Homo-oligomer: A and B are copies of this chain.
Amino acid sequence: MDPQQLRTFVAVVDHCSFSAAAQALGYTQSAVSQHIASLETDLEAPLLTRRPVAPTQAGERLLEHARPLLLRLDAARADVARLRKVRRGRLAVACTPGALTPATTLALVRARTAAPQLKASVQVCGRTEAVQAVLTGAADLALVDGAVAPSDPLPLPDAGPLTAFPVSEEPLAVLLPATHPLAGRPALRLADLAVARWIDAPDAAVPLGQLRAAAQSDGFGHQLTYTGTDIRGLSVLVAAGAGLTTAALPAAGDLLGIAAVPIIEPRIVHRTELLHPRTPTTPAAELVDTLRAAQ
């Protein structure tokens, strides 16, 4: 079970095809076929159905491990590399869209003015990619948001050692069309919204899974899935009545045709956490210290 073969396996699953995976990896189709065959004899179980190519039950099990394993391998390499490469004057931040609240953007801008020669970059992406970016060294820091009980930490995909601490916390709000019957309410209970029509926008808003966990409910069904990180686009859909979503209360002020109603029950907050490697490199380390001191 070597990582090369696992990488091939993942690629085959992603491409639903041996030949396409081969092309993507720069192998011949023959090599891919042999990789899979080798894995299957090694694990003594068929991992893929052929035609259509799809993971079997055993394949699904393997997948659950293969992706984190490969990610962690990259993380290990990046972690060692961080000792050598001192990224002077450059700061890359990966960031989920909801993490750009007034408080966090202010902190970033302040860090830039404190070190004006700093070449900073902000990449907006989904939660998984943000974590991945920090682990593999593509980013120095990540800002990730989510909705949880006030004392709980954000649930993060576990694929390596990362340090996290909260940098800002706001009330969580439901986003409704301004014309919605509930739009005028001063506050709402999450349980009353479990049966509403939601938009599942895992990379642009709070994933519905986090709402379910907070409300301890099986509700929050959705017919519409929104892929991407653009909050404005999501808000247009909400305004048009395609479904509901959530956001930090203050972040919703600039969205047209949208009403943001705070959630008061259960006790839940929108929190942004800063993620960084255990030993961040300068200048990221300084920013981390500054933010931590501000807490």
Q: Which residues of A does B touch, CB under 8 Å?
A: 1-4, 43-45, 57-58, 61-62, 64-66, 68-69, 72-73, 75-77, 79-84, 151, 158, 160-161
Contacts and interface: CB of A to CB of B under 8 A. Distances in A.
A58 B83 contact: yes
Given A2-B2, A44-B84, A80-B45, A161 B75 contact: no
A154 to B, nearest CB: 14
A61 B79 contact: yes
A294 B57 CA distance: 30
Contacts of A161: 64
B75 A65 contact: yes
A164 to B, nearest CB: 13
Given A64-B161, A158-B158, A76 B151 contact: no
Contacts of A69: 69, 72-73, 76
A160 B160 CA distance: 11
A51 to B, nearest CB: 22
A160 B65 contact: yes
Contact of A64 (B66, B73, B79): B79
A57 B279 CA distance: 12
